[in-house]
Structure 1
Amino acid sequence: MTVGDLIDALSAFDRDTTARLAINPFHPLAHRMGSVTQSVDEHGRPVVYIAESPEAEQFPLPPAVAVVLTWQGPVEAPPRRRRGATGSDNGQ
């Protein structure tokens, strides 16, 4: 993804909307974004890095987001079984 691709993707959203990074499909978390800086990669090409916030606060990624990112399939709750009565009436 290029900076232009990112700008194009983000331009569909309100500028005041909170942005977070979704990280690690095997333990999905959302991270607050912090600073943005530029450097070069191993081939001398420019690369822009988006850093995690200094507060390093992480949030559970909503399951619906993990589904949209194809990190997990849709999950339905298992069917509920009717439970029997508990306790004893001591023969009464």
Structure 2
Amino acid sequence: MTVGDLITLLSACNRDAPVRQAMNPFFPMAHRLAQVLPSVDETGRPVVHLAEGRDEDSQFGHLPPEVAVALAWQSPIQPPPRRPRRTDAR
């Protein structure tokens, strides 16, 4: 993804919405995005790094299940099938 791709995707979003970063597919968490850092990679090409905050409240907790499913980090969870209740057979 390029900066242009990111701008295009973000341009369809509410400009007042807070930005969150999804992290770690094995323990999906939501983090506050705090910095955008232009840099260069090892070959000298420009890259942009998105960094999470360093404050205690930078991690918001678990990623919403629908986001983890959309990222294919989790399978859709189906409720277990209902079984008839056991009756007291006295």
* Class of the TM-score when normalised by the shorter of the 2 chains: 0.7 to 0.9
- Which deviations, in whole Å up to 9, do the C-alpha atoms of 1:46-73 show, x marking residues without a partner? 1111111121323210111111111122
Runs of 4+ in 1 over 6 A off after TM superposition: none
Once residues 51 and 57 of structure 1 are traced to their aligned partners in structure 2, the CA distance between those partners, rounded to angstroms, is: 12
Once residues 43 and 9 of structure 1 are traced to their aligned partners in structure 2, the CA distance between those partners, rounded to angstroms, is: 27
* Unaligned stretches of 5+ residues in structure 2: none
Give the structure with the larger helix fraction: 2
Letter in 2 for 1:73: S
Structure 1 residue 74 displacement after superposition:
1.1
Structure 1 residue 75 displacement after superposition:
1.1
Aligned pair count reads: 87
Q: Which residue of 2 aligns with 1:15?
A: 15
Q: What pairs up with 1:63-78 in 2 under 5 angstroms? A: 63-78=65-80
Alpha-carbon RMSD across the aligned residues, in angstroms, is 1.7
Q: Which residue of 2 aligns with 1:31?
A: 31
| Larger of the two Rg values belongs to structure | 1
